[in-house]
Structure 1
């Protein structure tokens, strides 16, 4: 038993924990704008808090089990966490639940929990069911638990009967399929749930069926095509719209729901919803699937480490964007041949031939050769990064001191406000208003203090690490595994444009695009300085990056095959160091893409540099 105080005049404060639970995710989303846990949890919390207040007990912890439909307590992680908490905190007196049916669906669970809580000297109370105390109260609790289990089982049987009856009458079970929407319609003055076509997606779903029925599309190719056409999943509270995956398309193309049927426990019933496809189209799609399920022609998803990153260079030059598709073809001898081909070839607007995989792999490897860094550039940019960091540290110390002064002023204001409030000089509403304003000022200043020292160091670290990775990228790429090559491609490049002539044309990710643009600008400054001689003026080095085409030892072919730097948001930030004799600090610090601009003057300089012709 818990110890009691010997003095009758001193009462021991009692402590309680709350256990709140709902059985479905949907219940956590009702009135979400009012309470983040949903209306049901919020209601339980209020009622349980009232119960704790009536017992003069302090609520020391709250356990929320959101959207767990498991019937046994073994399958409820939060409930198990609560029992562990009680074991570690023996001063808790009560566990308060909204109703016993919220805590237990089986009377055996209730009995086991009761025995466990008795050993801890903790009592479980229901906020909605007051059974009192004593033997009869315990008997009533046990009877209630038994009846809750019976009610739960009967409800499950009722739900099964209702779902079967709904299917027999053509109703849709659960959420609407892709291409349809759950809607509310007026039927004879009463609002009822129904299913309607999704105007945004229904036509695209039909297009997917038609393309696959043609026999010219694998699931893999259909996935890429429908993504290009704009077919996406519906947005939910937790997931944004996204392209429909190959596995989702595979299930969609076998679902009889789209031809007007509802399936329940293996039995088909005529649905009340409007079909998207006809029976003939449905049958043709199933025939294509069956024909590809045989040996040697399975409609499966093939894997290759370059998949998803290759686009047709020929179509790109013609102003189109078309993916390269990976295929495995079986020869007459039974050997497998791997190719990449432009999706536009089957659509009739591209004449690029099928490219063997080994040729494509070599072309991508050649693109890595364009990432080499000149030793003089690498040394120069590393020095400028160090100088910029040193200059920034000096500014940071001044800025830090100003922030500390501002924080001291806020402290002084808060002390004066406390004095005025205690003397009753200011109305309570005015005190609250000023207190909130000072609290917000303090939060803003403290946030700036915590980030001031880290901004430039973080940006410098990113660039320095990127420089190190560009030491010998092609050798690293050629000597590693396919899995690591995949990771390298995703790190360095956004995509590759592949043509049968020449190496792949790579579009770089940041910060590599920024570094290569800086190297191009560095070469420009060297060439300009050599041409101008020692009498050159600062303005003579204002050579636009776009005007620099060649340098000694670099051919026209090299320039054409260099990685694409277009669209790189930082392409001028590092490069502008070599277009201007001014401070490198303004360039490195002022760009918002590298670190947040800290003054209007820096922002202005950075913005101006972005528009160099």
Structure 2
């Protein structure tokens, strides 16, 4: 290099971007300290600083994974307009002795000196020896600290604690125990209901990962907010799949390949988790299963041996599929219940509805309580609209605040544009939800309730008018199980149902609302089926998406 004044580049680095937010200065306390020491070193050695390179948020990584440092080396190699590179400390740049040796050799090959503002710097053989010793000591300390942290994290996991940041559905909190602040994990009341719902819906087999993600997003699930994304980002399909496979939500902590009982509260029970893993395993197979759907699947059981009836296809000689119901134990010769064609079973179920009667008093009770439910929903919708409009006002204020930052050198135009785009996206979503809330026709709903109550006078006639998906819902309301026997060799007969009559659940519902007896928690359909297993198919009963949004907003 020629010229009267030697030229130098300075390189500053912080481990995390949060270290840039520790002072009024946009670069934070750490960078400002590094800058002052490097400027002092430049004056001491007689260099003029011509450019600065700042590397934020690349903790513990090799120099090959630091883009800013690689840009500095590229400038040295291709432009060659500097005489030295000044750094704060060698251990701020080099995590091991190999990085230090490679960088030193590369700079030396281009005639550029490496100066550390706070370490001994000398270009003699003795100075190079001291630098290599410092690099070796720094590398040892870095590895020792890393091993110490790993041991402490493994010990915490073995005791049931959760190392690191809480998973989605939980939050990091501090509890005071014996005047000590203890870091622990608590259930996130805002997001935990979404996680449980995700497991429930996926266990039905009716959702793909992507469709489930879309439904949860529409219902309001977001990742925790950050400074860059105050409203929280959407959960990605891959993130959702990891959640569904993660035994942490079952109550376990996995660390270093070892599983330990956790101190945190599980969000799902073992049965539900196992059902989700079964669905995931079926979809992971190389050959895709063909799933045949029918509204009676999961409802029919054998009156002779108590096993469930399987819905299966068979093909005629011309290749057309024909469908049957058969007892699960018939194939091994353990049950003699005949195999019935689908249409005969459908007729048998329809005929069974002729045995059901619902009194006028019960129909009146249903009408009154459903009308009350509609009124309550109308009130909830009004409150939702008010909340959404308040959210729109908040977004407008945020957008105004961003627009006022236009021209501020600390807020680049690209960053402001991204922030405004996020606000617009969130506004579009809220407007869509507001439009959906405004389309509810409660007068029409009341008319339908009265018409439904009138139809309950003749359940069989009502059942005949229903489409298949509504028939499944009506069957679920009326029966837990229907037991099938043979009236004649090829004619099925519904011998009995688990419930004495179809109006028993309606009576129970009315009794609960009338407070004539203490209300109990109604068991789910799956839990009432007993120990004989899940529904005999790859599709469980439908779970509506209307229950996606948790009660806690």
TM-score by length of 1: 0.44
The higher-RCO structure (CA 8 Å, 6+ apart) is 2
